[in-house]
Structure 1
Amino acid sequence: MFEPRVALASLSGEADAEWAREGSDHAGAAFLGGIALDDETRAAARKMVARDRSEFLPPDPLSFVEDELDALADVPIRPGVNVRSATLEPVRAVAAACAERDAIVEINAHCRQAEMCAVGCGEALLRDTDRLCEYVAAADEAGAAVSVKVRAEVSGVDLTTTAREVQSAGADAIHVDAMDTESVVGDVVDAAPDLFVIANNGVRGPESVREYLQYGADAVSIGRPSTDERVRRRVHGAVEEWFGEVGTA
């Protein structure tokens, strides 16, 4: 899906094209966003901004996504766009824009902010597997590569079931925030062998990289430290070392 197998995970209100360009020295993919696409999620985002959260709120989300992706046309990194929407049509539209630019559309079933959950996004979407699969299928039908961002340790959610279901719905990747349960990555790998599994949470250097890759992850992603060149270099070096060892084993 991307090389090197290091991704930069979306950062609320910060992960834009310039951020991806700066991180392209040691990463193979960068997930822009998250982007609130429709009226309900944009209203939720405004409420979050009012309490000092950072959010992208461009006048036209689709045009914003297209412009940001176009700004990366000359950058050696595969872009993705992490999206939140209470309705399907905006997801289809962004997925089509991503398909035209060889970008990944990432369905956000991860956000735990109360305002987003109240409109059926983030963790609320993670708890509704049938609806999540509708989003995945819509994005897949638009021709885009589809990732689903999920979080471990959510009450009532079995990520192995989620992984199997989104795989069947047409997802290409699952981006797992392992929280404090790193072994869940191995469970997801076993449950959905056709998914490209990106492991996230606490990725800082060789120890964390090797732990996730030993569980079978196909790649790792860097969250908040993605703006730190030293962390990117350490993670990239550990990933390249691991796959070099695997390739010569």
Structure 2
Amino acid sequence: MFAPRVAVASLSGESDAAWADAAVPHVGAAFLGGVALDDASQAAARDLVARGRSEFLADDPVGFVAAQLGSLDEFGGEDRFVAVNVRATSPDPIRAVAAVCADRGAGVEINAHCRQDELCAVGCGETLLRDSDRLAAYVAAAAESGASVGAKVRAEIDGVDLPNLAATLADAGADWLHVDAMDSEAVIADVAAAAPDLFLVANNGVRGRETATEYLDYGADAVSVGRPSDNPRVLCRVRTAVDDWFAGREDAAESGDESGVSA
């Protein structure tokens, strides 16, 4: 899906085109956003700004996404990938932004991750994890455009069977799943087994060799860096660890020792 197998993860109000371009020497993917697409999600975002959080606020959020994708200077090349993390309370805005992304070769990532009360109150963010039918409908709506589609989800939500949800989203047309593993890193192995066709991006605490290797050993296809995504030293450490891990797997395959996959 992308190479190198390191991504930078969306940080609301911070992850724009300039941020993505700055990460280019170290990563193969960038998830811009999150972007609130409709009136309810935008109102929630304004409430978040009022209490001191950063958010992208735009009169025309779909136009904002188009402008951001159009202003990417460095994030090109057939091996790199860009997606936009979005929030909405119905499928129609997702269809609209997915069409823009499809035209520009970008993907759409449905936000089922944010846990702020304001967003959850309007049905966005992690509330979607407990409403798998609605989340699957959002994925299917985005997939209609021909854009690559994924979702960002969170582990450790009571009553949510994340592996089962992953399989449901794969059936709905998802191409990838971006998992914030929280303190349950081993959930990556369960998700990978339940939905083997999904490209699995593991997130949370990725800072260097130990964390990156752990997620890859559990079956992640790639890892993403969140808060330190503007720190080139962290990105360099993670990129080196990931490259080494995949090099070790290739060496093991060539020697016939499939067990020696970890560097």
Alignment TM class, shorter chain as reference: over 0.9
Alignment of 1:226-237 (within 5 A): 226-237=229-240
Shift of 1:95: 0.8
Tell me if structure 2 keeps the 8 A contact 1:175–1:200.
Answer: yes
- Structure 1 partner of 2:109: 106
What SS does the corresponding residue of 2:31 show, helix, strand or coil? strand
Q: Does 1:169 align with 2:151?
A: no
User: 1:123 and 1:156 mapped to 2: Cα distance?
Assistant: 12
- Structure 2 partner of 1:123: 126
User: 1:20 and 1:102 mapped to 2: Cα distance?
Assistant: 15
Give the aligned residue type for 1:4: P
Deviation per CA, 1:167-213, whole angstroms, max 9, x where unpaired? 00000000000000000000000000000000000000000011000
Larger radius of gyration: 2
Q: Does 1:143 align with 2:146?
A: yes
Q: Does 1:89 align with 2:78?
A: no
User: 1:73 and 1:24 mapped to 2: Cα distance?
Assistant: 10
Shift of 1:117: 0.6
TM-score with structure 2 setting the length = 0.93
- Structure 2 partner of 1:41: 41
User: 2:243 and 2:99 mapped to 1: Cα distance?
Assistant: 32
- Structure 1 partner of 2:5: 5
Give the aligned residue type for 1:6: V
User: 1:247 and 1:181 mapped to 2: Cα distance?
Assistant: 28
Give the aligned residue type for 1:202: G
Q: CA RMSD in A?
A: 0.8
Give the aligned residue type for 1:238: A
Deviation per CA, 1:94-146, whole angstroms, max 9, x where unpaired? 11111111111000000000111111111111110000000000001111101
Tell me if structure 1 keeps the 8 A contact 2:21–2:73.
Answer: no
Shift of 1:74: 4.5
What is the count of residue pairs matched by the alignment?
249
The unaligned stretches of length 5 or more in structure 2 are 253-263
Identical pairs, percent: 62
What SS does the corresponding residue of 1:110 show, helix, strand or coil? coil
The unaligned stretches of length 5 or more in structure 1 are none
What SS does the corresponding residue of 1:111 show, helix, strand or coil? coil
